[in-house]
Amino acid sequence: MEQEKYMALKRGEHGIIISIVAYLCVSTLKLIVGFVANSDALKADGLNNTTDIIASLVVLIGLKLSQKPADKDHPYGHWKAEPVAAMISSFIMMAVGIQVIYAALSSVLIGKSESPDSISAVTGLFSAAVLYFVYRYNRKLAKKINSQAVLAAAKDNLSDAWVSIGTAIGIIGAQFNLPWLDPITAVIIGFLICYTAWGIFRDTSHNLTDGFDVLEIVSFKGTIQGIQGVKGIKDIKARSYGNNAVVDVVILVNSNLNIRAAHDISTKVENTLMDEHDVFAVIVHVEPN
């Protein structure tokens, strides 16, 4: 199973590389058109995508580090490098979002008398289509390999697609003698960037502080209680090594059983959780009842 998890991380790299290439292309396009067509919103959106390149590189490094096997000072492996990388990318996104809001608000206060060229709107819509397709690919890949980092990248792809659509709407509105609508849209873009960053930070911090889905633990309990020989569950806990679930459980068995029989039941608990719930590792303690 461990080898399969490493292979899944390797496949996750492909999705991040696709994101990097897409962001490199659309950010270059947006920044060039934004400056030429005089669009604050498009420039802000392009700046957002340049930081997405950096954030994606951080995630890519995290995926590579996660594939390192256990060593002397990392006896459980390097699995948590992946959520750490996702968290760092959220910091980068938050910093850029705040900068975009500040720059856009400054533009609103100063006042802007020129409307951006309509080519900016076309650029925004084209970029939205590209990023949406990248989102669909990464979301499907993330679910297939159960990768928190790739799923975070997919969420970023989708938010950037919506941001690009919002950019186009603001630019189109500015064509109707409402030039202030373009920087106002840039402010909204900044808040969307910050909102996405907060969502990624919330999920990764929950993972890194050993938070775990309560409903999933309930599902584990139901499975264990249905195993022949298990008379009850005294305690059960779960945590994550990166995206891999690890379960610690204390089960109750008949006090008349010998050591071999009790061990066989604990082995069955381990194998059942791994097979039915894709749990990475199970630690079972047996107590007499």
Q: What is the model's pLDDT at position 22?
A: 93
Enumerate domains of the chain plus CATH numbers.
Answer: 2-208 (1.20.1510.10), 214-288 (3.30.70.1350)
| Span 230-244, pLDDT tens digits | 888 999 999 887 777
Q: What is the model's pLDDT at position 114?
A: 55
Please spell the DSSP secondary structure of the chain, one letter per residue: -HHHHHHHHHHHHHHHHHHHHHHHHHHHHHHHHHHHHT-HHHHHHHHHHHHHHHHHHHHHHHHHHHTSPPBTTBTT-STTHHHHHHHHHHHHHHHHHHHHHHHHHHHHHH----PPPTHHHHHHHHHHHHHHHHHHHHHHHHHHHT-HHHHHHHHHHHHHHHHHHHHHHHHHHHTTT-TTHHHHHHHHHHHHHHHHHHHHHHHHHHHHTT---HHHHHHHHHHHHTSTT--EEEEEEEEEETTEEEEEEEEEE-TT--HHHHHHHHHHHHHHHHHHH--SEEEEEEEE-
Q: What is the model's pLDDT at position 56?
A: 87
| Span 102-140, pLDDT tens digits | 877 876 676 655 556 678 888 989 999 999 999 999 988
Q: What is the model's pLDDT at position 115?
A: 58
Q: What is the model's pLDDT at position 132?
A: 94
Q: What is the model's pLDDT at position 209?
A: 86
Q: What is the model's pLDDT at position 188?
A: 83
Q: What is the model's pLDDT at position 156?
A: 83
Q: What is the model's pLDDT at position 128?
A: 92
Which parts of the chain sit beneath pLDDT 70?
1-6, 8-9, 107-108, 110-117, 179, 182
What global pTM score does this model have? 0.75
